[in-house]
Chains A and B, each alone.
Chain A
Amino acid sequence: MQFETTRFGAIETDPESVITFTQPIIGFQTLRRFVLLPGPASGDGEDSRVRWLQSTESPEAAFLLMDPRSVYPGYTVELRPEEMVELGAAVVSDLEVYTLLVVPQDHTQVRTNLKAPIVINLRQRLAKQAILDRQDYPIQFFLLQESPSSGEPREAAPPEEARR
C-alpha cells in the first residue's frame, strides 16, 4: 500500500506493517493507523535513538518516539488485564514501550511523556496510548535534568486513591 506523508513524501509499505491503535492517541481521535519509521539520523553517525510514528491517514501527523528506559532506568509499565487483552498481549514483555518526545528549539526544554506511553504489540500490530496510575511518572520529563530523582516539575496531584 502507498500513502502520503509531509516529511517523507509518498511511502510504499507492506500493509502488514501497519499498526492499528485500539484507543487513539489522546487528542488525535480520528487517527488509528500508523507505521514505525527510522528516526532522524544522529549527528555522530550512529543509529538514531528515536523512531517516527507516522500516520498513514494524515500526511502531517507524525510523532517522535524514544525508549524511556534510556533516560529513566527502571521505567516499568503496568496495564490492566483488560488493556492486555485489548492489545492481544499475554505478558508485558510482549509489548514495545515508547514515550513521545517533545522537541522545542531550546534543548533544555526537550522532554518526554512518561505518564502516557505508547505501547505496541508488534506481533499483533496493535497499540494504544496508556495512562499509567503512577504519580511519579511526569507528563513532562526533561531529558537534560540530571537524574530521575532531581527536582524537575512533577504533577502536584495527590496520590490516586486505590480503586475499590
Chain B
Amino acid sequence: MLVLTRKEDESIMIGNEIEVKVLDLKDNQVKLGIIAPRHIAVHRREVYEAIQAENAQAAAAASAAASHLSSISNLIPR
C-alpha cells in the first residue's frame, strides 16, 4: 500500500483524472472531496460491503423450499 501524508486542502491524483482532496480535519474525522469522471462510481466501502452481503443472502433464497417460496409471493401486493 502506498502511504502519503497530506494536510488540509492538499490532494492526491490517481492517474490523470481522479483527484482526492482533504477538505477538512476535525474530531477524528477526515472529510474527503473526490473529483472523478462520472463513469467512476464512488461509494463508501461499508455500503458496498453491505450490498455484497445482502446479495449473498438473496442468492441463498434459491435453495429455500418451493413451498416456502410460494408463500412469499403472497407478501407482495399487486
B-binding residues in A (CB < 8 A): 6-7, 25-28, 39-44, 46, 48-50, 52, 60-64, 66-67, 70-71, 80-82, 100-105, 107, 110, 113, 115-116, 129, 131, 139-140, 143-144, 155, 157, 161, 163-164
Contact = CB atoms under 8 A, between A and B. Distances in A.
B56 interface: yes
A82 B38 contact: yes
Contact of B69 (A40, A46, A81): A40
Interface residues of B: mostly helix, strand, loop or mixed? helix
Contacts, number: 129
Interface residues of A: mostly helix, strand, loop or mixed? loop
A80 B37 CA distance: 11
A62 B59 contact: yes
A43 B70 contact: yes
Smallest CB-CB A-B distances: 6 pairs: A42-B73, A62-B62, A27-B52, A82-B39, A40-B69, A100-B58
B51 A41 contact: no
Contacts of B51: 26-27, 113, 115-116, 129, 131, 139
25 contacts: A40-B66, A40-B73, A49-B73, A60-B62, A61-B59, A64-B58, A64-B69, A70-B76, A71-B76, A81-B38, A82-B39, A100-B54, A101-B58, A102-B54, A103-B61, A103-B69, A107-B75, A110-B75, A113-B58, A115-B51, A116-B55, A155-B47, A155-B50, A157-B46, A161-B33
A52 B50 CA distance: 22
B11 to A, nearest CB: 14
B78 A70 contact: yes
A63 B50 contact: no
Given A39-B73, A42-B73, A164-B35, A6 B58 contact: no
A123 B11 CA distance: 43
A139 B58 CA distance: 12
Interface string B22-50: 00000000010111001101111011101
B16 interface: no
Contact of A43 (B44, B47, B73): B73
A50 B64 CA distance: 15
